[in-house]
Amino acid sequence: MLRNLKDFQGYALRATDGDVGTVKDFYFDDDRWVVRYLVVETGTWLNSRQVLISPVSLGVPNHDEKVVPVSITREQVSNSPDIDTDKPVSRQHEADYLGYYGYPVYWDSIGIWGAGGVPGMMIPEAGLAPSSAGVLEADRAIAADVAAQHRNDDPHLRACKSTTGYHIKAQDGEIGHVQGFIVDEQSWQIRYLVVDTSNWWMGHQVLVAPQWIQEVSWADKLVAINMTRNAIQNAPEWDASLPPDRDQEVEIYKHYDRTGYW
């Protein structure tokens, strides 16, 4: 099912032995447009430290209770590698983090999550949580080796909050700004950017798929879309109170004359 990422902000992350904290932000991979980490504020039990939680450990969200179960313990979170969420997350930090939890790296694979399309497929035996004592030293050594090999890689990680507000530029001029992100809550792949056109022509919110992005200038805070202002302006209006269903997606892709991803 598709969800607005904003819906998850403030959700409680519930470990196997108690709550870890609340969702504050997300890091997405701007190469494959997939949410790689949830940024979680731990609260007083861990001195209000912010930690990263991978979708690999997430269970099915309970939207009524605003809770997302995670298959790790509070002790594992407490002992996880420190990552300064106010600074770019390096590839080495990622490898250290994934190695700590016993998860394989995702960037050497052909799929968005290893060889598959959902985070759980990154765990060799799906459904088995990592050991409460962390991973074996052999796993840490592998992670360190991977980190060394990819020390200078661009991890392509971007924070959703900092990307919100970026201007949208069509082929013939600016048309709106990024208002949010629509994600598939099974794969955590970003299916659409929510584009607010109201500041340009008293318009409405529309959806644009990342595959139609021509370029993102992080320095200029600008997203260039490979279509005209008129095409975006006349796109089907998105109702922010409802998640898009398949019929709406078909209408959107038909409007832009694009082939559906499904």
Q: Looking at the structure, tell me whether residues 200 and 138 fall in a common domain.
A: no
pLDDT at 151: 56
Measure the CA–CA gap between 90 and 96, rounded to whole angstroms.
10
Packing angle of the helix pair 91-101, 137-149 (nearest 10 deg): 160
pLDDT at 205: 93
Q: Report the CATH number at residue 57.
A: 2.30.30.240
Residuewise pLDDT in 10s, the chain (262 residues): 999 999 999 999 999 999 999 999 999 999 999 999 999 999 999 988 999 999 999 999 999 999 999 999 999 999 998 888 878 888 888 888 998 998 888 887 788 998 889 998 887 554 444 443 444 455 555 555 655 565 556 668 999 999 999 999 999 999 999 999 999 999 999 999 999 998 777 778 999 999 999 999 999 999 999 999 999 989 999 988 888 899 999 999 999 999 999 8
Q: Report the CATH number at residue 168.
A: 3.90.50.10
Q: Looking at the structure, tell me whether residues 26 and 120 fall in a common domain.
A: yes
Q: Which two tokens stand for residue 56?
A: 């690999």
Domain end position, chosen among 139, 158, 177: 158
- For the chain, what is the domain count? 2
| Cβ–Cβ < 8 Å for 56, 127 | no
Q: Looking at the structure, tell me whether residues 147 and 238 fall in a common domain.
A: no
Q: Looking at the structure, tell me whether residues 41 and 129 fall in a common domain.
A: yes
Q: Looking at the structure, tell me whether residues 119 and 205 fall in a common domain.
A: no
Domain end position, chosen among 115, 140, 158: 158
Q: Write out pLDDT tens, residues 106-133.
A: 887 788 998 889 998 887 554 444 443 4
The answer to whether residue 261 sits within a structural domain is no
Rounded to the nearest angstrom, the gap between the alpha carbon of residue 66 and the centroid of all alpha carbons in its chain is 18
Measure the CA–CA gap between 5 and 185, rounded to whole angstroms.
9
Closest CA to 189 of 206, 209, 169, 207: 209
Q: Which two tokens stand for residue 139?
A: 């796993």
Burial 72-92 (b: 16+ CB within 10 A, else e): bbbebbeebbebebeeebbbb
Q: Looking at the structure, tell me whether residues 30 and 89 fall in a common domain.
A: yes
The answer to whether residue 262 sits within a structural domain is no
Quote the domain boundaries for residue 234: 164-256
Question: Whose structure tokens read 């082929």?
Answer: 171
